[in-house]
Structure 1
Amino acid sequence: MNLTPSLSTPHASASPSQGFSRLLNGFLRLQRLRLAQAYWRTALAFSVPFFLYTITLAPTIYNLDSAELTTATVTGGLMRATGYPLYMFLGRFWALLPIGDVGFRMNLFSAFNGALTLLFVERILNHLKIGHFATLSALGLLAVAPFFWSLSLVAEVYTLHTALMGLLILLLLEWGDHPLPETLGVITLLLGLSLGHHLATTLLIPGAVWYVLVTHPRVALTPRGVLLSLAGGLVGLSIYLYLPLRYLSAPTFNYAGTYDATGMFNPVNLLTPTGLWWLITGKSFAAQMFAYQGLELWNEIVWFVGHLARAFFVVGIGPGLWGAGVLFRRNWKMAGMLTLMFVCTAVFYIDYRVLDKETMFLPTYVIWTIWIGIGTHTLLQWVRTSTPREVWPLRVVQVLVAIPVLASFILTGPQVDLSDDWSTRLRGEAILREVEPDALVLGWWDTVPVVQYLQLVEGQRPDVQAINRFLISYDDLTTLVKNEVQTRPVYINEMPLGWQDTFYAQKVGPVYRVYLRQD
């Protein structure tokens, strides 16, 4: 028998430091548990869509505006109106991520902002005390809405705009609850930054001003409130200084200007107030604004109603209308804010004559999603109180609410999935492979921006000059080709109809080589 005393006994008292450590660990575990319980829905609202967008993301540079936006951002260049300085400033840092090529990284930026939008909408619905099921079903409809999903897969400006919009609404709700002048300064700071990203932020300002003034006008209009509002707005608007600073560096990629008949690029002078104002206000698109009248305008209104119905799989229209009505009865101040934001955005873009305007209604999607959440929550509450002793009616309604989300996911996914779409890169590489040394390449958005991306970002074929036909008039283009075709190879994406008597062309890969007629 071993009679040696044990060096440790199970009943030995713990030292004060050990007791404190256990207490601290227990407290931290409790806090982590509370945090997980409070924010599991928020984490879900971001992580699930981000995963969905990532696995369906375009794997490399994409065409049209996406290629222009990516190239301008990464090279420190300049875009056409309205400049998008906030996007380009943030994008230059995002592009440093060590994953994929630069095109993929900027596509991923849109996916991140799309998921961030959904996170902010979840926080808005949480503020309104909307239940879990109603919130997640509303977010599900937005996440898989065709244009919201597709614009989260390529480098574009729209999902950053909706993310900033969601944050703006959250800050306004914070102002409604805690009306501090400092909060007002943060709101105007965000508005200034948002204007520096997308001029469509002006369509949100009436709703924001409405909410600030109808909730706490006395605080807003105090000298301190006014001063902080002005200071915040000016600091936010200072993001526009990015544009003249980039202009000073004489960037190689510059779409803020035009080419003349000699092939010389004439940039807009962004060091002058006139030049900067021309770019940031989108004066080059002024003719397309408020362009419909009479029956044409009515047809556009009908088209928008159909577009919104398709976005939310039709079944989202009823809950959205119901939710808007419920919000007006319960919180007319917030309802007025959201309605003004929705109506101003919808009216402007309905009356905007451009081919791709269906991509521009995402802010109305955000508002409608909030209304859907409210409407669905009200419906579920009514079913629950109407049948307190029966669970199955509530479960049936929940299934009916979930089915459209699942159906929209199944139907929309194959239509928008870009995970195997290398077409833009392949087209650009084919063009650079086919054209002869020192060639001039002319084309629209599906041709030139990707060529410039491959040249300026990846260093391919620096001997080739590429000119976007959007930046040169028809007459100057004709004169330029007449002169250049005699001294070097000239290629174009398609022959203008008026050139048949002056030029002829031969197909070379994805483009045509242009020759001057001798007869």
Structure 2
Amino acid sequence: MRAKTGINIKVFLTWLLVALLTLGLYIYTRTPAVGLIDSGELAAGCYLLNILHPTGYPIYTILGRFFSLLPAGSIINRLALLSAVFSVAGLLMILLLCQKLNFNLIISSTVALLIAVSPPLWSVSVDAEVYSLTFFMNCLLWFVLINSTKQPRLLLLSYLAGLTLTNHLTGLWTVIGVIITLILTWRCKLIRPAPLLSLLFLLGLSPYLFLIIRARAQPLFAWGNPVDFERFWWHITGRQYRVWMFSSSFSNVLQNGRYGILLIARTFGYLLIPPVIYGWVILLRQNRPLAIGLTITTLLSLLYAVNYGIPDIDAYYLPAITALALFAIWGMEALYRRFRKYLYLMSILPLIMLVLNYPHQNRNQDWVAYDQALNTLKSADSGAIIITDWWDIYAPIFYLQEIEKMRPDVSIIDKELLRRSWYFNYLEKKYPLLTRNSRNEIQHFLHQLLLFEYRLPYDPIAIQESYIRLLRSFFFNNPARPVYTTFAPGSGNDAQQLLTGFQVVPIGILYQVRADSLIPEFDYRILQVRIPRFGLNERSKFNLDRYRIFAQQRIALLSRLNRTAEAQLVASWYKKMFSNYQ
């Protein structure tokens, strides 16, 4: 490999152009408000220094806290900026690595820009997400590794490897690849500095102490409540998510594999797949340890992604994409002299993929999560209790209530989080009167729940009965407060047991749970729905489809009661809001 340390003005200006173009693209296409999935929890968690969902992401929380204090924009916009900044920083690491190896500037810039406009990276750079930080750390690890010819850089690499694991654990695949490369390269020379390297690796893990320290300070929302080593270990290893890991059927794994291959092919503009393969062959000849390390990272990343059954899986391919990008650069560099003209034509590939991906990745009109959360609150009367099983409603409302201070009179409970003992600490702080009114039911359920959590003998029938009894106590023990759910009686066994004996009335985009036969009026015109022109994925469509379901059910109910005028108002509202939606 050829090493080059100087950076001339041409190189600097190219890097600056790549950085400004990608940062500008991410800022322009970022979400205008809180998004679906984890956006609301992450943004509010960073600002309030909560304990985030497993695996905790302590380094993201700490860095996010600093970004949340920036003097411009909303909290969610500041956290989206953090995502954009770290994605751009990761791309610059790739360019810097290529410069150190004296690789062609156009080739390295082409690959970096292709990664920048790829769905996996673009999608996590425009919202509050943890993956862009992991992408940056992965790129930084490979950069330091390839330049680790002296022990001081080995020490830095060891510390960074530990630090990488304090964000998203998909960084583990890069860490494993880096360690294997080091072992194959240094062999016996690693024995002497091994104790110091191990110590620095552990030092890199030190941000995890934030979880224990902060949990003992009792923040508002301490997911997992990792106050002792056992709960800390459960949290950082993602114990509650193991049900989705390596549990897919063989047919689902094959389907996920096909999806992953197509995603990677699209990431590299399809045309760069041959250079990726050729680069792998070339690197095996030039630097076998590095080629093996990159290959192992790629395989581990792919194996995990195709076996993890969650919808938002694209970002889990980023460690593999980063490794494959290095193969692509090596391959294009090897082909450069023979096919120079054709390789320069490849430089327009990022522009082509930008045009193709833009309609799917532009999120600057995406108000789906914000509107749904706000409309859910508008659907509820003063002092309401809302029980939900839908994270895409709960997390954005959590953000709106805690950060934007909307509708503090409403108590919203995630019935799935209610299956976790730590959640009751939050409920007691947030809704003291509500929990006080159900104290007996909570204590009885917690007794059963702790047996389950600590894997002691428990009765599944008893735990389910106490769970339903607790949920129903929110109805019976708070008679002066209106109660709503986001799910219908027929949406599952829990819903059926919970809502038996009650009348369930669609109102707005909620179901009101009533003990009488009254059907309250509701003016749907107070609900605003903004349909984005771009960036509508399947999850957004699923959430938008809830409006159709509620409108149809409301119209059918009013029609049966001969309240035709009200039914027509609902129909005209839906037609107006969704006239441009297909």
TM over 0.5: yes
Correspondence for 2:482: 489
With over 3 angstroms needed to count, the CA separation of the structure-2 counterparts of 1:329 and 1:476, relative to structure 1, is farther
Q: Secondary structure at the match of 2:165?
A: helix
Equivalences for residues 16-27 of structure 1 within 5 A: none
Uncovered stretches (5+) of structure 2, i.e. residues with no partner: 1-5, 420-463, 518-582
Q: Secondary structure at the match of 1:466?
A: strand
| 1:48 CA displacement | 1.6
1:169 aligned to which of 139, 142, 167: 142
| 1:421 CA displacement | 1.9
Contact 1:56–1:418 (CA<8 Å) still a contact in 2? yes
Correspondence for 1:449: 395
Count of residues in correspondence between the two structures: 459
Distance 1:120 1:212 in 2: 20
- Alignment of 1:440 onto 2:410: no
| 1:475 CA displacement | 5.7
| 1:220 CA displacement | 2.2
| 1:279 CA displacement | 0.3
Contact 2:39–2:396 (CA<8 Å) still a contact in 1? no
1:148 aligned to which of 102, 121, 143: 121
Q: Secondary structure at the match of 2:103?
A: coil
Distance 1:204 1:367 in 2: 8
Correspondence for 1:185: 155
Correspondence for 1:341: 297
TM-score (norm 2): 0.74
With over 3 angstroms needed to count, the CA separation of the structure-2 counterparts of 1:298 and 1:455, relative to structure 1, is closer
Distance 1:398 1:496 in 2: 61
| 1:321 CA displacement | 1.2
Q: Secondary structure at the match of 2:338?
A: helix
Correspondence for 1:198: 168
| 1:101 CA displacement | 0.5
- Alignment of 1:426 onto 2:399: no
Equivalences for residues 48-447 of structure 1 within 5 A: 48-175=21-148, 178-180=149-151, 182-222=152-192, 225-256=193-224, 268=225, 270-292=226-248, 294-384=250-340, 394=341, 396-399=342-345, 401-443=346-388, 444-447=390-393
With over 3 angstroms needed to count, the CA separation of the structure-2 counterparts of 1:332 and 1:482, relative to structure 1, is same
| 1:44 CA displacement | 2.8
Distance 1:410 1:419 in 2: 16
1:472 aligned to which of 402, 410, 418: 418
Which deviations, in whole Å up to 9, do the C-alpha atoms of 1:357-388 show, x marking residues without a partner?
A: 2331111111122222222222222124xxxx
| 1:469 CA displacement | 3.1
| 1:213 CA displacement | 1.8
- Alignment of 1:508 onto 2:507: yes
With over 3 angstroms needed to count, the CA separation of the structure-2 counterparts of 1:137 and 1:218, relative to structure 1, is same
| 1:285 CA displacement | 1.5
Distance 2:158 2:229 in 1: 23
Q: Secondary structure at the match of 2:207?
A: helix
With over 3 angstroms needed to count, the CA separation of the structure-2 counterparts of 1:121 and 1:100, relative to structure 1, is same
With over 3 angstroms needed to count, the CA separation of the structure-2 counterparts of 1:319 and 1:103, relative to structure 1, is same
Uncovered stretches (5+) of structure 1, i.e. residues with no partner: 1-32, 257-267, 385-393
Correspondence for 1:27: none
Contact 1:68–1:450 (CA<8 Å) still a contact in 2? yes
Contact 2:83–2:132 (CA<8 Å) still a contact in 1? yes
Contact 2:11–2:105 (CA<8 Å) still a contact in 1? no
User: For residue 413 of structure 2, what is the amino acid of its counterpart?
Assistant: I
Distance 2:206 2:394 in 1: 32
Q: Which of 1 and 2 has greater Rg?
A: 1
Contact 1:255–1:471 (CA<8 Å) still a contact in 2? no
| 1:320 CA displacement | 1.3
The Cα RMSD (Å) is 2.3
Distance 2:384 2:104 in 1: 62
With over 3 angstroms needed to count, the CA separation of the structure-2 counterparts of 1:306 and 1:37, relative to structure 1, is closer
Correspondence for 1:5: none
With over 3 angstroms needed to count, the CA separation of the structure-2 counterparts of 1:116 and 1:475, relative to structure 1, is farther
Contact 1:501–1:517 (CA<8 Å) still a contact in 2? no
Work out which structure has the larger RCO, using CA pairs closer than 8 Å and 6 or more positions apart in sequence. 1
Mean Cα deviation higher: 450-459 or 476-485 = 476-485
User: For residue 448 of structure 1, what is the amino acid of its counterpart?
Assistant: Y
Identity of aligned residues (%): 26
Distance 2:267 2:469 in 1: 46
Distance 2:125 2:326 in 1: 19
Distance 1:59 1:439 in 2: 28
Contact 1:328–1:336 (CA<8 Å) still a contact in 2? yes
Q: Secondary structure at the match of 1:43?
A: helix
